[in-house]
Every structure is written in C-alpha cells, then in structure tokens.
A and B are shown apart, each in its own frame.
Chain A
C-alpha cells in the first residue's frame, strides 16, 4: 500500500537516480552475490550496497561505490528496498551477457521511493529497453558485528591460488574446515566427504600469500553449501582477504577489478557450524 505521497525534495522526483555507461560494472558484481532470489538494496551518497542472506547464517554484500557510476544521486540520507535479484539481473543483462568490448549497455536507474518500482533504462546500439521492477519492504538484515578490532586471524591470498581449490571442493562434505595458525599448517582448507578427507595447505611464505597475520590457532567449520556460492565472487576477484574473529565468524572480502580497472568489493560473512576453537591439527 503506498504511503501518502511524500513531497519530492528540491523538486527532484527520484530519491535515487544513477547512470552507468557499462551496465556490466553492476551486473557482474551482483552475480557474485546471487545465491537467493531476493536482495536488499541500500543506497547512500557513498554508493550502492546489495545484500543477500540465507539461513540466517550467511550474508553477502556487493559494494558499488558512487565513483563507479557516471552519475549517482541520493536525495535522502539512505534509500532501502527489497527486490527480486534474479529479475534485476535478467533486466540488467537484457541485451545478453557476452562481453563485447565495443558495445557496452548503458544503464539509467531511477527510484521514486517507498512503494514505487525500480525503473531501469538500458540502451545498446540504439535499442532501448525499459524495465519496471516491483520493490518490497526491506527485510531486517543480520549484523555480524565484524569489526577489525575483533579479528583474531587474517590472511590475504591471491585469488588465482584459491580458484581451483574452491571450484573442486568436495561437495559430499557437509563442512568446509578452515584452520589458521601462526604455526604449521598456517592456512589449511579441509573437507570430509564420502571418499575421505582432503586437506589443502597454503604455507605462509607461499607466493600466493600476500599477507599473513595469524595470532592464534583456530579451526572452524562452515556449512559448505552456504560457502559454495562465494566461488562466484572468487572467480571475479584478484585478491581475497580471509578473517576470523574470536567466535569463529568468517569474513571473506574479495577485491574485484572491473573492465575499466576500477576496484569494487564483495564480502561474505558466515557463522561457524560448530564451536571448535581449541588447537586441533
């Protein structure tokens, strides 16, 4: 039900309006967090954050800062709405997903506010597509309260080293176990599947290890089905930072360089499956 019409601030009918010369800068990032149909969009003057959650255990955020857009204007302090992400992606990629460098799709996005649909105008080669996607009441989102002061262990790895590992994770294992330690094995990924257990170790002096700050030996397990979608973000990224806090909550932050060389971030937060914080090697 629409609220009584809010008077538009300073004569501007849209609380959010944005332009992007290449819609792929947005669609590729959104695909990296697309593991559920619904997402919450949160826009401020700083840019756009799109959040997807599942099972109250995992949360993924895609950040597209205002500088990525050719134009980004938010009339209120913040604008929030829930939207069907599958539909949004189908609209953003209406002209296809093949990366043709010469013909990017231009995008204009407009949102009038609460109860209004999100309007998209996409143009490629003189053909214009107009989309109106219904929005919903935003959900309450999880707050992992993950701040840098709580971080116990942190490593930064080059993504190419992890891509194969994640693509080949033994999905018959219920969990992915991550061990981080100042001592051997330093950084270990383990699965326990039907065929047996598999361990993948990354030594601290490996070329792939860009930063290594482990203070305490921690072993945590996470539901593998929840983490598997993060592979999409990993595939796009050049670097990933992996952090755990004292409760074993996991933060994965992916640094993604888009076609124009601009940097964006996608992060995944995940709750541990069990509480195993004693040294377990």
Chain B
C-alpha cells in the first residue's frame, strides 16, 4: 500500500481545502477511499450517524499535480482509510499560502497521513510544517460497507432554492422545532414546514424547476407518471439539513434533492470538480 500526492497550484490547494472543510462539517469520522483516478469521502448510514450517509467524489486530476497510489493488492487497487476530516482541515489551514503541499501515507508507529506543507520564507530554504494525521486502515473485508449508494426510486426530484434563503429560514425554524417536513412536487414547488404546539411555519418556494432524469428502462417512471401537483414529503431532523447547507462554503453549480415520501431525502450538490451526495432518512 502506497500513497503520495502533491499539490503545487494555489487555486487547487484552496479548492481542496474548501472541500475538506465542508466534509469536516458533515462528519466527525469518515472513510477516505483512494483509487487511481478518484478520491471519495464516505459516511455510511450507521445508527451512530443518525442514519445519515454521505458520498463525496473528487477527480484527483483536478486537484493534484502528482498522484501515486498503489492499493492493497493488484486486483483491488484501492486504499480505504478511516480518518477525522477535521484533522485534515486543520492541517490544510496552515497551507493557505503554501508553495506546495505533499500528502503521504506513512506507517512509522501507526498509520498516518503525513501532510507536509512547504511555506515561503525570506531565507533561501523554505519552511516546512508537517502534520501527522492518524488514520485507520480499513480492511478489505469491510469495503462492502462503503459502496456507492444508488439513487433511490424517488417520488419527486426538484432543484433546491437559493441556498442562502434556505439557510436563513432553516436557522429560524431550528429555534422553533426539532424536525421539519420537506415537501415538493413535480411543478417546481417546495414547502418547508414546521408545526409545534406553539407555532406553525410554512415557507413556500416556487418555480424551482425539476431536473430531467433520463428514464432507464422505466425505472423512474413512477416519478413521471405521478400527478405533477401532488406532493412528496418527508419529515427530517432540521439540524442535519442545516449541517449540510451550512457546510457549503461555495455555492454549488447544481443543487437538487430527491424525495422518497416518508422514507428518505437524497441531496445532490454539484460543484465543478466535486460531487456531494447526502442522504437524510425520514423520522419515524
């Protein structure tokens, strides 16, 4: 097992840092899967996470100037590591003006990701700041826990409203209730609703647009044959939704959600080089 990578371009470095910051806001620990062409940050839907799961995918070529990966075995040319993304985020904070950042998998006393930041200095030799981030190596027999989730057979798929507005509304609603009902239809309408003994609040969004999903052998036909006006809804934990939106440091190019009535809400946030999927299960 070998992994070493290097980022020299400052824009790529900042972009990568932002991605890690977002992941750090969404998961205390997660799996990092390395393949020849991609990096994945994965949170599988354990009870400990409250049933939330996450799948974040990056093309290494868009971030790294050098990338060498040798997996656990020839037929399984991948590495799965368990790490605390906040540690990586903090290490990268020191790299804001770096000349280069090297990341290497080491095993001196225990497995670590060594992040070596080369900082500019007035003297001829650069300053080096090195962070050793402890990681756990996830054995091959557990790799099945981290498979890519399939797009659920949703009832409604809809683009999200302007995230800033959604965030403001959710921030206030969070003070009033623990859970929120998110409902949407195929006519581009979405409502966020809370209801308690004291108060009920509903925010209505219109003209959001519904993404066109290509129907593969009619598997999405349930969505197409559905009456355009009828709402699919799910009650979810407000804090988890807010966590997802609050972690977005940059506005995504595309943001949408798929609702499986009363079961799960599947959020997809696409940036230029990163795709993030987040699943929030419905509350009982």
Contacts A125-B165, A129-B169 hold; do A94 and B198 have CB atoms under 8 A apart? no
| Chain B residues with CB below 8 A from A87, complex form | 176, 198-199
Q: Total A-B pairs in contact (CB under 8 Å)?
A: 59
Among the stretches B119-127, B131-139, B201-209, B250-258, the one at the interface with A is B201-209
Q: Say whether B202 contacts A95, CB under 8 Å.
A: no
| Chain A residues with CB below 8 A from B201, complex form | 91, 94, 129-132
B197 within 8 A of A: yes
Q: Which of B162, B200, B203, B206 contacts A94 (CB 8 A)?
A: B203
How many residues of A are counted as interface, with CB atoms below 8 angstroms from the partner's CB atoms? 20
Q: Which of B162, B197, B202 contacts A134 (CB 8 A)?
A: B197
| Chain B residues with CB below 8 A from A127, complex form | 161, 165, 169, 203-206
Q: Say whether A94 contacts B204, CB under 8 Å.
A: no
Q: Hey, what's the 0/1 contact readout for B53-82 against A, CB within 8 Å counting as 1? A: 000000000000000000000000000000
Q: Say whether B169 contacts A95, CB under 8 Å.
A: yes
Q: B173 to chain A: closest CB distance in Å?
A: 8
C-alpha gap A125/B171 in the complex (Å): 18
What residue in chain A is nearest B195 (Cβ atoms)? A132
What residue in chain A is nearest B205 (Cβ atoms)? A127
Q: A64 to chain B: closest CB distance in Å?
A: 21
Q: Say whether B172 contacts A90, CB under 8 Å.
A: yes
| Chain B residues with CB below 8 A from A133, complex form | 198-199
Q: B164 to chain A: closest CB distance in Å?
A: 8
C-alpha gap A73/B171 in the complex (Å): 32
Q: Say whether A96 contacts B168, CB under 8 Å.
A: yes
| Chain A residues with CB below 8 A from B150, complex form | none
A86 within 8 A of B: yes
Q: Say whether B175 contacts A90, CB under 8 Å.
A: yes
Q: B195 to chain A: closest CB distance in Å?
A: 9
C-alpha gap A124/B164 in the complex (Å): 12
What residue in chain B is nearest A93 (Cβ atoms)? B172
Q: Say whether A91 contacts B172, CB under 8 Å.
A: yes
What residue in chain B is nearest A124 (Cβ atoms)? B165
Q: A166 to chain B: closest CB distance in Å?
A: 27
How many residues of B are counted as interface, with CB atoms below 8 angstroms from the partner's CB atoms? 21
Interface residues of B in 27-65 (CB under 8 A from A): none
A11 within 8 A of B: no
C-alpha gap A124/B205 in the complex (Å): 11
Q: Which of A84, A94, A126 contacts B168 (CB 8 A)?
A: A94
Q: Which of A86, A96, A132 contacts B175 (CB 8 A)?
A: A86
Q: B170 to chain A: closest CB distance in Å?
A: 10
Q: B172 to chain A: closest CB distance in Å?
A: 5
| Chain B residues with CB below 8 A from A126, complex form | 206-207
What residue in chain B is nearest A126 (Cβ atoms)? B206
Classify the secondary structure of A's interface with B. Answer: mixed
Q: B169 to chain A: closest CB distance in Å?
A: 6
| Chain B residues with CB below 8 A from A96, complex form | 168, 171
- Residue with the greatest number of chain A CB neighbours at <10 A, chosen from B176, B199, B202: B199
Q: Say whether A94 contacts B199, CB under 8 Å.
A: no
Q: Say whether B168 contacts A90, CB under 8 Å.
A: no
Q: Say whether A128 contacts B198, CB under 8 Å.
A: no
What residue in chain B is nearest A122 (Cβ atoms)? B203
Q: Say whether A84 contacts B198, CB under 8 Å.
A: yes
Interface residues of A in 85-121 (CB under 8 A from B): 86-87, 90-91, 93-96
C-alpha gap A133/B202 in the complex (Å): 12
Q: Say whether B165 contacts A95, CB under 8 Å.
A: yes
Q: Say whether A94 contacts B197, CB under 8 Å.
A: no
Q: Say whether A129 contacts B199, CB under 8 Å.
A: no
What residue in chain B is nearest A84 (Cβ atoms)? B198
C-alpha gap A90/B201 in the complex (Å): 10
Q: Say whether A94 contacts B175, CB under 8 Å.
A: no
Q: Say whether B169 contacts A130, CB under 8 Å.
A: no
Q: B203 to chain A: closest CB distance in Å?
A: 4
Contacts A127-B205, A129-B204 hold; do A91 and B199 have CB atoms under 8 A apart? yes
Q: Which of A93, A95, A134 contacts B198 (CB 8 A)?
A: A134
C-alpha gap A87/B198 in the complex (Å): 8
C-alpha gap A171/B58 in the complex (Å): 53
| Chain A residues with CB below 8 A from B171, complex form | 96
C-alpha gap A125/B205 in the complex (Å): 10
C-alpha gap A95/B176 in the complex (Å): 14
| Chain A residues with CB below 8 A from B175, complex form | 86, 90
What residue in chain B is nearest A123 (Cβ atoms)? B204
Q: A22 to chain B: closest CB distance in Å?
A: 16
Other A-B pairs beyond A96-B171, A129-B204, 15, CB < 8 Å: A84-B199, A86-B175, A90-B173, A90-B175, A94-B173, A94-B203, A125-B162, A125-B165, A127-B165, A127-B169, A127-B203, A128-B203, A128-B204, A130-B202, A131-B201
23 contacts between A and B (CB under 8 A): A84-B198, A84-B199, A86-B175, A87-B198, A90-B176, A91-B199, A91-B201, A93-B172, A94-B172, A94-B201, A95-B168, A95-B169, A96-B168, A126-B207, A127-B205, A127-B206, A129-B169, A129-B202, A129-B203, A131-B199, A131-B200, A132-B200, A133-B198
